[in-house]
Amino acid sequence: MIKFGTDGWRAVISKDYTFDNVKIVAQAIADYIKEIDDKRPVLVGYDTRFMSEEYARLCAGVLVANGIKTYLTKKPTPTPVVSFSVKNMNLAGAIMITASHNPPQWNGIKFKGDYGGSALPSIIAEIEKHLYKNEVKFVEPENSNLFSYIDPDKEYFEHIEKLVDLNLIAKSRPFAIIDPMHGAGVGYVKTLLEKYGIKHIQIRDERNPYFGGVNPEPIYKNLGKLIDAVVQNNADIGLATDGDADRVGAVDEKGEFIDSHRIYALLLRHLVEVKGLKGGVVKTFSTTNMVPILANKYGLKIYETPIGFKYICELFLKEDILIGGEESGGIGIKNHIPERDGILCSLLLLEIMAYYQKPISQILDELFKEIGYHYYDRVDLHLPNEIKEKTLKIISQNTEFAGRKIKDIQTLDGYKYIFEDGSWILFRASGTEPVLRVYTEQFTKDEVKRLLDEAVKFIEKMK
Ligand SMILES: O=P(O)(O)OC[C@H]1O[C@H](O)[C@H](O)[C@@H](O)[C@@H]1O
């Protein structure tokens, strides 16, 4: 049974992610587009996963068989480039073949709306309604005059050059290690650094459907190679993007991981204090308290949403939003698309270093001195569904946890305990992977570790 999750449909290759099911989803998307009577073309893009180009071709074949003019990217292309192209080329939408950061055996389909961002919950509901309704139509795309290949990179790069001061970065002469984690981001940050003569080394840039044995998610446990490369080469920063390059992760000049919360806080401060921009600030339920602290300081309106960039995207479309981001490393910025962009965020981190002319660890330390030290980590626990449900039920009734009094339990998405000092721990079932996530933000590293250890012990007892 095909079911859309936090972001589109994801499934294990061969098990449920089969040619037939990919075509069924593509047919539902084609039916949705025909129903809203959108005569504009659709773009299909894909990442570097196993056979992604073939699944993309199948989707293109279904779209043209349904009379929809279709473009297919010539090579693996990041999600933000696909989303940007939808808006830039005034298309009806895009299909992106990707399972983003999931393990190698997964693939997926994301749908992007004509505004250039994640399909809103209402669009997903419409597409889901069309699943299995009509018989799948298919023609070999190359045989249809509605079909053509495109390379949308040039226009994307031109746009990014307007958003980032690459000349300022070049003048500050940084040395960056770029890590696309074998994903669709290969060559993107690199192209711009090369153009401006900025010193860099790109690692993990060959196609490897196994992603070298780690998931292409730019979090600490998967960035060992980047950390080593930064330290061995005495680089100033390491910049990683996930499997489809909409997320960002970073490593400082000492080889310390900089998580998404810290990146978000740095970007928010930079956009307001240095670039002089204003607008609403959006964070998901699992994102750092540093964001509201900064937003309050600048007098900016703060919005909190459930997990999923689609909720942030919705706000970008309705309100004047400066920045929206999430724990998973997806951050979107004003004057671009209502979409996360790991390439843009990587370049903005270089711009921040160039502006302050200081090591990134020092810039971060100064920020912490201003708004308080914040530490964060997450564990993902593989649990059978019954245990997951049982755990969440018991979690919802606790009044104390790990010897600390719970001041409030918030339930926007999962169960979040707010402790008396404002720090928190969140228990939530993932919508993209069969795991229970436990996230916490505390004022010391030790307390983060202690709480996560306690959470694991607590959940172990449910088994
Ligand atoms: O925690 P999950 O439900 O697995 O979601 C984690 C992430 O999955 C996808 O990448 C979504 O696009 C993100 O918006 C979300 O943050």
Confidence of residue 5 (pLDDT cuts 50, 70, 90): confident
Looking at the structure, do residues 367 and 382 belong to the same domain, yes or no?
no
State residue 178's pLDDT score.
98
* Whether the predicted pLDDT of 40 surpasses 90: yes
332 domain-assigned: yes
**What single-letter amino acid sits at 337?**
I
Looking at the structure, do residues 106 and 161 belong to the same domain, yes or no?
no
State residue 6's pLDDT score.
74
State residue 457's pLDDT score.
96
ipTM of the complex: 0.96
**Mean pLDDT calculated for residue range 170-195:** 98
Decide: 339 in ligand 1 pocket, CB within 6 A: no
- Which residue owns the Cα nearest ligand 1 atom 1? 430
* Whether the predicted pLDDT of 289 surpasses 80: yes
Show the domain range for 260.
156-371
423 domain-assigned: yes
Q: How far is CA 74 from CA 53, 151, 462, in A?
A: 9, 6, 49
Looking at the structure, do residues 161 and 104 belong to the same domain, yes or no?
no
Looking at the structure, do residues 108 and 246 belong to the same domain, yes or no?
no
State residue 83's pLDDT score.
98
* Whether the predicted pLDDT of 202 surpasses 80: yes
Looking at the structure, do residues 280 and 361 belong to the same domain, yes or no?
yes
Gap from CA of 309 to ligand 1 centroid (Å): 7
State residue 207's pLDDT score.
97
Looking at the structure, do residues 349 and 417 belong to the same domain, yes or no?
no
2 domain-assigned: no
* Whether the predicted pLDDT of 271 surpasses 80: yes
Looking at the structure, do residues 144 and 215 belong to the same domain, yes or no?
no
**Mean pLDDT calculated for residue range 32-56:** 97
Evaluate whether 153 touches 75 at the Cβ level (below 8 Å): no
**Mean pLDDT calculated for residue range 146-163:** 98
- Which residue owns the Cα nearest ligand 1 atom 12? 7
* Whether the predicted pLDDT of 402 surpasses 90: yes
322 domain-assigned: yes
Q: How far is CA 208 from CA 19, 180, 181, 226, in A?
A: 21, 12, 9, 16
**What single-letter amino acid sits at 266?**
L
Q: How far apart are CA 40 and CA 54, in angstroms?
A: 24
Decide: 217 in ligand 1 pocket, CB within 6 A: no
CATH of the domain at 423: 3.30.310.50
Evaluate whether 329 touches 307 at the Cβ level (below 8 Å): no
Burial (CB < 10 A; 0-12, 13-18, 19+), residue 210, is exposed
State residue 420's pLDDT score.
97
State residue 79's pLDDT score.
98
Counting ligand 1 atoms within 8 A of each CB, the residue from 260, 264, 328, 340 with the most, and so the one to mutate, is 328
Q: How many domains does the chain have?
A: 3
Looking at the structure, do residues 347 and 386 belong to the same domain, yes or no?
no
Counting ligand 1 atoms within 8 A of each CB, the residue from 309, 310, 340 with the most, and so the one to mutate, is 309
**Mean pLDDT calculated for residue range 4-32:** 94
The last residue of a domain, from among 151, 169, 186? 151
344 domain-assigned: yes
The closest alpha carbon to 363, from 237, 241, 459, 249, belongs to 237
State residue 251's pLDDT score.
98
Q: How far apart are CA 430 and CA 322, in angstroms?
A: 27
Q: What is the pLDDT of residues 98-154, one digit of tens each?
A: 999 999 999 999 999 999 999 998 999 999 999 999 999 999 999 999 999 999 999
3-state SS, the chain, equals CCCCECCEEEEEECCCECHHHHHHHHHHHHHHHHHCCCCCCEEEEECCCCCHHHHHHHHHHHHHHCCCCEEEECCCCCHHHHHHHHHHCCCCEEEEECCCCCCCCEEEEEEECCCCCECCHHHHHHHHHHCCCCCCCCCCHHHCCCEEEECCHHHHHHHHHHHCCHHHHHHHCCEEEEECCCCCCCCHHHHHHHHCCCEEEECCCCCCCCHHHCCCCCCHHHCHHHHHHHHHHCCCEEEEECCCCCEEEEECCCCCEECHHHHHHHHHHHHHHHCCCCCEEEEECCCCCHHHHHHHHHCCCEEEECCCHHHHHHHHHHCCEEEEECCCCEEEECCCCCCCCHHHHHHHHHHHHHHHCCCHHHHHHHHHHHHCCCEEEEEEEECCHHHHHHHHHHHCCCCEECCEEEEEEECCCCEEEEECCCCEEEEEECCCCCEEEEEEEECCHHHHHHHHHHHHHHHHCCC
Looking at the structure, do residues 342 and 383 belong to the same domain, yes or no?
no
**Mean pLDDT calculated for residue range 268-292:** 98
For 92, residues 6+ apart whose C-beta sits below 8 A from its C-beta are: 33, 38, 39, 40, 41, 42, 68, 114
Evaluate whether 54 touches 46 at the Cβ level (below 8 Å): no
224 domain-assigned: yes
The last residue of a domain, from among 126, 151, 176? 151
* Whether the predicted pLDDT of 422 surpasses 90: yes
The closest alpha carbon to 158, from 94, 84, 95, belongs to 84
HSE-CB of 137 using CA atoms within 13 angstroms: 12
Confidence of residue 327 (pLDDT cuts 50, 70, 90): very high
State residue 277's pLDDT score.
98
Gap from CA of 329 to ligand 1 centroid (Å): 10
Looking at the structure, do residues 214 and 251 belong to the same domain, yes or no?
yes
**Mean pLDDT calculated for residue range 38-65:** 98
Gap from CA of 438 to ligand 1 centroid (Å): 14
Ligand 1 atom closest to 433 (CA): 4
Gap from CA of 143 to ligand 1 centroid (Å): 37
179 domain-assigned: yes
Looking at the structure, do residues 244 and 324 belong to the same domain, yes or no?
yes
401 domain-assigned: yes
Decide: 326 in ligand 1 pocket, CB within 6 A: yes
Counting ligand 1 atoms within 8 A of each CB, the residue from 4, 6, 10 with the most, and so the one to mutate, is 6
Gap from CA of 100 to ligand 1 centroid (Å): 9
The last residue of a domain, from among 119, 151, 183? 151
CATH of the domain at 204: 3.40.120.10
Gap from CA of 215 to ligand 1 centroid (Å): 14
Give me the percent of the chain exceeding a pLDDT of 90.
95
Counting ligand 1 atoms within 8 A of each CB, the residue from 79, 82, 307, 426 with the most, and so the one to mutate, is 307
Ligand 1 atom closest to 310 (CA): 14
Q: What is the pLDDT of residues 52-93, one digit of tens each?
A: 999 999 999 999 999 999 999 999 999 999 999 999 999 999
Counting ligand 1 atoms within 8 A of each CB, the residue from 3, 7, 47 with the most, and so the one to mutate, is 7
Looking at the structure, do residues 166 and 255 belong to the same domain, yes or no?
yes
